[in-house]
Amino acid sequence: MDLKFFKSDRNLSLLEENDTQHRFLQPVWDLRLGFEDWMTSPLFPVFLSVGFYFLCNIPYTIVDLYFQDFEIVKRFKIQPEKRVTWPMMRKAILKTLYNNLVFIMPTMIAQWIWVPPTPFPRLAPKFYDFAYQSVAMMMIFDFQYWFWHMVHHRNRWLYKNFHAIHHQYHATFGWTTQYLHPWELVTVGFFTTIDGWFFECHPMTYWCFMLLNVGMSVEAHSGYDLPIFPHKWLPIYGGGPKHDMHHMKPLTNYQPFFSTWDRLFGWDCPGISGGGVKGKRLLAWEERRRGQRINKHATELMGGTENGELVPDKEKKRN
Ligand SMILES: [Zn+2]
Ligand SMILES: [Zn+2]
């Protein structure tokens, strides 16, 4: 990820000379002092994002490995009957490490060699800029990925060659978030990078957007429906239940975070709630579609069965 989009040093010093206001976020931004040599490196955003991805997954991993049979845990699990095992996790973790080492690291090392470190601004971002830019970047990313995702499901060649790998898991768990074809990982990295360019945003705003993106993606794949998750209080937010439904019925819920575009185009499907409970809206959705003929192409994109239950590629070949 390139840091060149941050405002140039000369422009910043001109702006900062006239700005004597106290910045609400200054104490947070000042935490960088003493670490700037390391933080201005083009490698920093990658370590931050990969490190945060592993950090977000730790609590889900512990719960899935040691507590998934506890009644209290099952009450919040979207598909309580599906077990998450260590070999499943190990496969997904190794894939993430492989993708990062083989495809992301060489790009970062090239940047490290050829792109000079970018000096940081002295002042923190204004709170208003920080808040609106973070939200705006999330919404832009949500639209970009929605379109990419929809096209990669509706085109058979794109699905088979690039996106199908992510759908090898019928029920999601944290580590499935980055179980991706390298093309998908590179596209996600590209969208994340250019979204920062749109606003010439402050490094702190950009990093926050990156971390939010990682945290929300892991939450969407966690397989849990917890009362603290945003979809409980933000009706346009999709979250875990909707993305888990996307892995069960892959021709629905293409948006990674929100549900606005899917609703507009009729691709929205209500998710299953914690404890495997089907709500009224989901039952009504299923009733409306009962008996509808699904063409062969759509059936194939749903994993080969008419109810959208996916069968891993290897098992499909054996049948
Ligand atoms: Zn997914
Ligand atoms: Zn998909």
What is the rounded average pLDDT of the residues 120-133? 91
- Tell me, in angstroms, the distance from the centre of ligand 1 to residue 256's CA: 8
User: Mean pLDDT, the chain, as a whole number?
Assistant: 84
Residue 225 and residue 76 in contact, taking contact as beta carbons nearer than 8 Å = yes
Tens digits of residue pLDDT in 270-295: 999 999 999 999 999 988 887 676 65
Mean pLDDT of 6-14: 48
- Cα of 144 vs centre of ligand 2, distance in Å, is 14
Distance of CA 260 from the midpoint of ligand 2 (Å): 17
Task: Evaluate if residue 137 carries a pLDDT over 90.
Answer: yes
Measured CA to CA, the distance from residue 166 to residue 90 in angstroms comes to: 15
CA dist 255 and 275 (Å) reads: 24
Question: Domain limits of the chain?
Answer: 40-318
The count of other CB atoms within 10 Å of the CB of residue 254 is 26
Distance CA 192, CA 138 (A): 9
Average pLDDT estimate for 110-127: 82
Of 188, 187, 183, 185, which is closest to residue 162 (Cα–Cα)? 183
- Output the pLDDT for position 106: 86
Separation of CA 174 from chain center: 10
Give pLDDT, residue 279: 92
Number of C-beta neighbours around residue 275 at 10 A = 14
Instruction: Report yes or no: 197 and 136 within 8 Å, Cβ to Cβ.
Output: no
What does the alpha-carbon distance between residue 239 and residue 256 come to, in Å, rounded to a whole number?
8
For residue 70, the CA-to-ligand 2 centroid distance in Å is 30
Is it the case that residue 59 has pLDDT exceeding 50?
Answer: yes
Q: How far is the CA of 243 from the centre of ligand 1 (A)?
A: 6
